[in-house]
Structure 1
Amino acid sequence: MSAPQFALVAFAATLALSLSLPLVIRPLLVKLGVMDVPNERSSHERPILRGLGLAVMLAMALVGGAATVFAAVTGPDGAAWKFMLVVSLGSLCAGLLGFSEDLRGISVPVRSAILLLIAASTSVALLWLARTQVLPESAGLDVGALPMWIVVALGVYGLLFVSSYINVANFMDGLNGISGFHGLIAGLAFAAAGALSGHDWLLVMGVILAAGYGGFLPWNLSQPGAFLGDVGSYLLGGAVAITSSAAFVAGVPILATIGPMVIYFGDVGTTLVKRMRKGHKWDEPHKEHAYQRLQQLGMSHVAASAINAGFTLAASILGLVSFFVAPAWWILLLVLGLALVVLYQLTPRLLEKKFAA
């Protein structure tokens, strides 16, 4: 079976499971009373079932696990299944942490410690693989040729990168559709990067991510609706960040690995800076993210989420362009990506007069 055929099977299997598992999961969540009650941060006005990200997590874990075993048994690339294993296990651990938060809550110190443990273990495992496995030649990073002090620095960066993005994805999960669109776009972007770089494992893990969150969208957007919960947002942040880190250390051009994350990081980063400059506590519930301000103008959840998704898609495409141009042009692509962040932050203000009229 060729890599594209394998990826197509993985996509179809994950999508089928993500679409069907809620039929079993919903009654369980109702019985457990896992409801999202509106608070200062919420964009909804009535309690809604949450935790349906459990179905996404199970779909991705089952197909990701099966794909990893299949790649280990039949794949000619001995490194592929090992990268798939780290991505699958790390994503699963992030999702399980979120599910624990949904069910009974975890103290901030314990949750932070577990987040750091997940991020540290995946970062170390990925760097070890990148130094010990034979990988396809690429225009990106060659971890095996780096001195150890740089590898250690990359490990610290990976720890902070993964743990912070899990929190970022959780902060951004505030509108119907926004996380589903993000997982779908990020997954497809990683799949494209895998196809362009010759990393078949990245192609497969990308389509699994895309199908998992694509399958959640109908349940999220139709009545009576349901939310991912922390299990889904932690899973999303973990899967995107760990896949990005794995691609980066495997030699995929850095802009292609971070493209899907630029808008999310930009929204959370600029919002936190603005709040801290005003003297607000960074962890207080609020509705000051750009996507929230778009919804407050009178936009539907889907419309505001679609704008966020459109900017994320544009940033992802810019990242993929790095495959086709010399590294000297990557600075220009980075500048254009940052310009997208600025434009996205200005979008609520630019549309304010239209909605006021």
Structure 2
Amino acid sequence: MAALVAFGLSLGLPILLKPVLLRHGVLDIPNERSSHTEAVVRGMGITVAAGVAGGLIVAIVGAGTGEGPLLATVGGASLAAALLGWAEDFRGLGIRVRFLLQLAIGAAATAMLVELTDASWWWVPLGAVAVAGYINVANFMDGVNGISGLHGLAVGGMFAAVGAMYGMPWLVSAALVIAMAFAAFLPWNLRGRNFLGDVGSYLLGGSLAVTGVAAFLSGVGPEMLLGPVSVYLADTATTLLRRIGAGERWYAPHRQHVYQRLTDVGLSHLQSAVLVTACSLLTGICGIVAGGGTLPAKVAALAAGAAVLVLYLKSPRILGRRRQGYATGR
């Protein structure tokens, strides 16, 4: 029921919100980072936030003993991240201010989760960095149509599967709410006429990161949580290091991520998003196998996951060479 509420709200509310955003001129103007060429409506992610909020409220009402506070913490941190993104969409915030507020959200959420799970307080600074970091990762990776909706659906689905394996109904509920809320936005976004905006990408990163931190502090193996997000992490990390090594301003708008370069070698937005999601599913499966298998299975799964990441990172070059070969008749 919670997932259905999230899906329904996220799917239906854009009908009401889009005219409001158009009236207030909340548009995404193409820049050096953009993969689109004309102004489109942004900030539509507020409807996904409403879906997540509504779904989690239903989940909290039906939660078992001790599960409600975990769901409430995930929901509170997710919505705080969304509100921060909303402020960025409407007014703009300095880089330092944004990052400090992201850290504050992560620290507050992790502190609450530590209290609920009796984990070590040493996890608070690490949780703060993890949440702030993934909010930015999700924001950096939200550059082609459908990629964020598919990421939320895929990672949320895998987190739900992990929750079922560990017997954690709260994790199943939270993950399915996130998955369905982002899946419902896909029909609005796939044709490139409506964008999540920072409110949506911050919500995506914040909700998945806080859910992951909560699951980890509750005893879930890290491989199972890192596997589904490793493609996003690898793409962002390698792009950042490459830009720093080249002496570029790493925070300036650009189109050097792997998923963006895939569109430069001929893939459509949807094809690029599907490739990223397929690789995320593969690394996620590898992470789940590694987290629950014997030592030989763990080694094999981690090696397979690493191979998927290498192939993904090299995919623009591989596809570019094939395209060049077809063009020259070789």
Which band: TM-score by shorter chain? over 0.9
Look up the match of 2:220. 252
User: Counterparts of 1:119 and 1:329 in 2: how far apart (Å)?
Assistant: 33
Look up the match of 1:107. 94
Provide TM-score, normalisation by structure 2: 0.95
Moved more, 240-249 or 103-112: 103-112
Answering whether residue 184 of structure 2 is matched by residue 197 of structure 1, we say no
> Which ranges in structure 1 are unaligned for 5 or more consecutive residues?
1-8, 132-142, 144-150
User: Counterparts of 2:296 and 2:268 in 1: how far apart (Å)?
Assistant: 41
AA in 1 matched with 2:207: A
Q: How does 1:121-136 map to 2 (within 5 A)?
A: 121-131=108-118
Answering whether residue 197 of structure 2 is matched by residue 210 of structure 1, we say no
Of the three residues 90, 96, 119, the one matched with 2:77 is 90
Look up the match of 1:240. 208
User: Counterparts of 1:243 and 1:104 in 2: how far apart (Å)?
Assistant: 28
Q: Identify if the C-alpha distance between structure 1 residues 247 and 327 changes in structure 2 by more than 3 Å, giving closer, same or farther.
A: farther
Q: How does 1:126-165 map to 2 (within 5 A)?
A: 126-131=113-118, 143=119, 151-165=120-134
How far residue 107 of structure 1 moved from its aligned partner, in angstroms, is 2.1
AA in 1 matched with 2:13: L
How far residue 328 of structure 1 moved from its aligned partner, in angstroms, is 6.5
How far residue 66 of structure 1 moved from its aligned partner, in angstroms, is 2.5
How far residue 297 of structure 1 moved from its aligned partner, in angstroms, is 0.8
How far residue 178 of structure 1 moved from its aligned partner, in angstroms, is 0.6
Q: How does 1:2-81 map to 2 (within 5 A)?
A: 9-71=1-63, 75=64, 78-81=65-68
Q: Contact 1:51–1:229 (CA<8 Å) still a contact in 2?
A: yes
User: Counterparts of 1:195 and 1:336 in 2: how far apart (Å)?
Assistant: 24
Q: Contact 1:253–1:322 (CA<8 Å) still a contact in 2?
A: no
Look up the match of 1:135. none
Report the count of equivalent residues.
325
Look up the match of 2:234. 266
User: Counterparts of 2:206 and 2:130 in 1: how far apart (Å)?
Assistant: 10
Runs of 4+ with >6 A deviation: none
Deviations 1:125-182 (A, max 9, x none): 1111111xxxxxxxxxxx4xxxxxxx24322211111100000000000000111110
AA in 2 matched with 1:100: A
How far residue 330 of structure 1 moved from its aligned partner, in angstroms, is 3.2
Answering whether residue 147 of structure 2 is matched by residue 178 of structure 1, we say yes
Q: Contact 1:100–1:106 (CA<8 Å) still a contact in 2?
A: yes
Indicate the percent of aligned positions where both proteins have the same amino acid. Answer: 41
Answering whether residue 313 of structure 2 is matched by residue 321 of structure 1, we say no
Secondary structure of 1:316's aligned partner:
helix
Secondary structure of 2:249's aligned partner:
coil
Answering whether residue 289 of structure 2 is matched by residue 302 of structure 1, we say no
Deviations 1:241-292 (A, max 9, x none): 0111111110112111112210000000001111111111111111111001
How far residue 119 of structure 1 moved from its aligned partner, in angstroms, is 0.6
Look up the match of 2:190. 221
Secondary structure of 1:44's aligned partner:
coil
Look up the match of 1:6. none
AA in 2 matched with 1:56: V
How far residue 108 of structure 1 moved from its aligned partner, in angstroms, is 2.1
Secondary structure of 1:322's aligned partner:
helix
How far residue 355 of structure 1 moved from its aligned partner, in angstroms, is 2.2
Deviations 1:7-49 (A, max 9, x none): xx12222111111010111111111111000000101000011
Q: Identify if the C-alpha distance between structure 1 residues 241 and 279 changes in structure 2 by more than 3 Å, giving closer, same or farther.
A: same
How far residue 354 of structure 1 moved from its aligned partner, in angstroms, is 2.3
Q: Contact 1:34–1:103 (CA<8 Å) still a contact in 2?
A: yes
